Structure 1
């Protein structure tokens, strides 16, 4: 076998390995950026003014949610495991309403919402009130806001579905970020391992081809 033939085979083998390496890198980049593509954005046409990190995170969760607005205020509420959390803004300016007096009514139940300075939200943690809201069905809410000289009533409906476990992992779901799997597909970790095996096989094949080429040239 002449040197030109060996050179062509070597170039073809190098090109094939480079292509596999590039494909593997691209695949890994896609996996790593999947979380970014799935990140929630604005609330949409019904909640543009409350597009904050906290509210955006809530929009991606399965927590029951309610939106309400008036000429003065708007709010987004989420029912979580241990509280009913509400973000309240001024409708016209999107300015957060801080340290106001807030009460929430649902039927005959009533509770006062505490203001969290660290999160800027208002939360109801009354056990009896939360138990009533967690019952499956529609729960009309009336929120009374007293901010300085201003006061207003905001009304909305919180829709609560069938009871679920707190963790949501009873069906074999994994939520560790690096190897997310919902039980209906192959996890990202498995794909990474497959790509690594493919690269190892390509490297071994190239080494064997190189040895054969050297043996034929002798």
Structure 2
């Protein structure tokens, strides 16, 4: 997962990114070479919709973001008679990547809302 600033889309590097979904809790491992955060969890391997809360702490700034991570069913509508190859690891990775992009877009919207609330006299 990549984490960027709302105002200028600059990457947020070396932050503490905590993920929570149901009983799953994990802290993202920052990879300096790629600038992303990875979570060592297996909770999202099965298709479904997962409520996710992320807490991003960077210096004195703390943002809490909520979204639903949707992992599509790679076998939905699959026609086994025609040898459909949508269960290959490549298609599964594409599906997971697409779901991650949806979560990232929802996170960006959450940050925008939080910043608007702060700018309108909300909590700091």
RCO comparison, higher one (Cα < 8 Å, 6+): 2
The equivalent of 1:93 in structure 2 is 8
Q: How many pairs align?
A: 79
User: Is the aligned partner of 1:111 residue 2:26?
Assistant: yes
The equivalent of 2:64 in structure 1 is 153
The equivalent of 2:89 in structure 1 is 166
Unaligned ranges ≥5, structure 2: 75-86, 92-124
The structural deviation recorded for 1:157 is 1.1
Q: Which has the larger radius of gyration?
A: 1
The structural deviation recorded for 1:89 is 0.7
Equivalences for residues 12-91 of structure 1 within 5 A: 86-91=1-6
TM-score, scaled to structure 1: 0.35
Distance 2:64 2:10 in 1: 18
The structural deviation recorded for 1:166 is 1.2
TM-score, scaled to structure 2: 0.59
Query: Which deviations, in whole Å up to 9, do the C-alpha atoms of 1:163-189 show, x marking residues without a partner?
Result: 533144xxxxxxxxxxxxxxxxxxxxx
Unaligned ranges ≥5, structure 1: 1-85, 169-218
Runs of 4+ in 1 over 6 A off after TM superposition: none
Distance 2:54 2:72 in 1: 21
Q: Which SS does the other structure have where 2:11 is aligned?
A: coil
The structural deviation recorded for 1:152 is 1.1
Note the aligned Cα RMSD (angstroms): 1.3
The structural deviation recorded for 1:123 is 0.6
Query: Which deviations, in whole Å up to 9, do the C-alpha atoms of 1:97-128 show, x marking residues without a partner?
Result: 00000111111111110001111111112xxx
Structure with greater proportional helix content: 1
The equivalent of 1:143 in structure 2 is 54
